Amino acid sequence: MRHFDTQPATKKVLILISDGGDNASLHTFAQALRIAQASNVVIYTIGLFDEDSADQNPKALELLAKETGGLAYSPVTSADVVRVCRQIARDIRHQYTISYSPAEERTNSYRKIKVHVITSDNRKLVVRTRAGYFWPSGAKPSASSAGAAP
């Protein structure tokens, strides 16, 4: 995640292929989740699970994806993996950015966000976005953004 901080790209996506198990991390899952929440990176997870593995954790993969505006997938066959990768590629191509100015500054606080979209003919659209963001220390209220995908 820290690698993305050095990149100038406005759209940052991580595709994480894992069983969700922890087998030598430098951070706890709670720390990793907070880093992911604080980033502007959308995480898609592809869970490859082995029924004989004791440390697999699909819930961890689901939470990482949900909190960052991505999706969690659990393909069963190699054909499913290809289908999932194509779906992720389509999803990335259809993302856009919504920006706004927060009304007040609350340093280092986690702000939950929820986006509702209604078309001009009053149809509701389903929007997927990250669950929230951390207001960075020293930041002034101005345009902030969160990646969103229909």
Question: Domain-by-domain residue ranges, the chain?
Answer: 2-149
Radius of gyration of the chain, Cα coordinates, nearest whole angstrom = 17
Residues 34-92 have pLDDT tens digits of 888 888 899 999 999 988 888 899 999 999 999 999 999 999 999 999 999 999 999 99
Please identify, in words, the CATH class of the domain defined by 2-149.
Answer: alpha beta
- A 10 A CB-CB count for 121 gives 5
Residues 80-116 have pLDDT tens digits of 999 999 999 999 998 887 777 677 666 667 888 888 8
**pLDDT number for residue 143:** 43
Sequence-ordered alpha helix ranges (H) in the chain = 2-5, 29-38, 58-68, 78-93
Local structure of 25: helix, strand or coil: coil
Q: How far is CA 122 from CA 19, 127, 128, in A?
A: 42, 15, 19
- Region 20-29: mean pLDDT is 88
Overall pTM > 0.85: no
